[in-house]
Amino acid sequence: MDTQHRADASAVAAAFGMSGLNARSLRQQLLTWLVAPLAVLLVAGTLFSYWVALRSATITYDRALLDPALALAEHVDSENGSTVLDLPKVAQDVLRIDSYDRIYFSVSRLNGELLAGQPEMPAPPPVVPVGHRTFYYGTVNAERVRIAALYVPQPNGPVVIQVAETMVKRNRLTREILIGETVPDLMIATMAMVLVWLGILRSLAPLERLRTEIAQRSARDLRPLDGSYAPSEVRPLVGTLNELLGDLRDALDAQQRFTANAAHQLRTPLAGLQTQVELALRQPASESMLRSLHQLRSATVRAAHLANQLLALSRAEPGGRRPDALRTIDLRSIAQDAASIWVPRALPKDLDLGFELATAPTVGDARLLRDLLDNLIENAIRYTPAGGSITVRTAVEDDAAVLSVVDDGPGIALDQREQVFQRFYRVPGATGDGSGLGLAIVQEIVNAHQARITIEDGPDGRGTLIRVYFAKAPPGQPPAA
Ligand SMILES: Nc1ncnc2c1ncn2[C@@H]1O[C@H](COP(=O)(O)OP(=O)(O)OP(=O)(O)O)[C@@H](O)[C@H]1O
Ligand SMILES: [Mg+2]
77 forms beta bridges with 84
State the pLDDT at residue 23: 56
Count structural domains, the chain. Answer: 3
Whether 113 is covered by a domain: the verdict is: yes
Report the chain's mean pLDDT, rounded to a whole number. Answer: 88
Residues 422 and 379 reside in one and the same domain: yes
Q: Residue range 374-382: average pLDDT?
A: 97
Give me ligand 1 centre to Cα 439, in Å: 7
Whether 354 is covered by a domain: the verdict is: yes
Residues 330 and 310 reside in one and the same domain: no
Residues 360 and 464 reside in one and the same domain: yes
Whether 386 is covered by a domain: the verdict is: yes
Q: Round the CA-based radius of gyration of the chain to a whole number and report it.
A: 49
Q: Is the pLDDT of residue 6 over 80?
A: no
Residues 332 and 437 reside in one and the same domain: yes
Query: What CATH number is given to the structural domain containing 78?
Result: 3.30.450
Q: Is the pLDDT of residue 481 over 70?
A: no
Residues 346 and 466 reside in one and the same domain: yes
Asked if residue 464 has its Cβ within 6 Å of ligand 1, the reply is yes
User: Where is pLDDT greater, at 52 or 393?
Assistant: 393
Asked if residue 458 has its Cβ within 6 Å of ligand 1, the reply is no
State the pLDDT at residue 247: 94
User: Where is pLDDT greater, at 436 or 53?
Assistant: 436
Residues 332 and 466 reside in one and the same domain: yes
Q: Which residues contact 396 (CB under 8 A, 6 or more apart)?
A: 358, 359, 360, 361, 402, 472
CA dist., res. 10 & res. 16, Å (int): 10
Q: Is the pLDDT of residue 201 over 90?
A: no
CA dist., res. 134 & res. 69, Å (int): 11
Query: What CATH number is given to the structural domain containing 262?
Result: 1.10.287.130
CA dist., res. 43 & res. 48, Å (int): 9
User: Of the residues 118, 145, 169, which one is the last residue of a structural domain?
Assistant: 169
Asked if residue 309 has its Cβ within 6 Å of ligand 1, the reply is yes
Residues 465 and 343 reside in one and the same domain: yes
CA dist., res. 73 & res. 87, Å (int): 10
pLDDT tens digits along 9-38: 444 444 444 444 445 777 788 778 888 888
Write out the residue range of the structural domain in which residue 105 sits: 71-169
Residues 334 and 462 reside in one and the same domain: yes
Whether 281 is covered by a domain: the verdict is: yes
Structural contact between residues 162 and 123, judged by C-beta atoms closer than 8 angstroms: no
Band of residue 476 on the pLDDT scale cut at 50, 70, 90: low
Q: Residue range 1-13: average pLDDT?
A: 44
Q: Which residues contact 237 (CB under 8 A, 6 or more apart)?
A: 230
Q: Residue range 236-255: average pLDDT?
A: 92
191-221 burial, b for 16+ CB within 10 Å, e for fewer?
Answer: eeeeeeeeebeeebebeeebeeeeeeeeebe
Asked if residue 443 has its Cβ within 6 Å of ligand 1, the reply is no
Residues 333 and 313 reside in one and the same domain: no
pLDDT tens digits along 155-167: 888 889 999 999 9
Name the residue of 313, 423, 426 to mutate for ligand 1: max ligand atoms within 8 A of Cβ. 426
Structural contact between residues 68 and 105, judged by C-beta atoms closer than 8 angstroms: yes
Structural contact between residues 102 and 93, judged by C-beta atoms closer than 8 angstroms: no
CA dist., res. 397 & res. 87, Å (int): 112
Give me ligand 1 centre to Cα 467, in Å: 15
CA dist., res. 218 & res. 318, Å (int): 11
Residues 94 and 162 reside in one and the same domain: yes
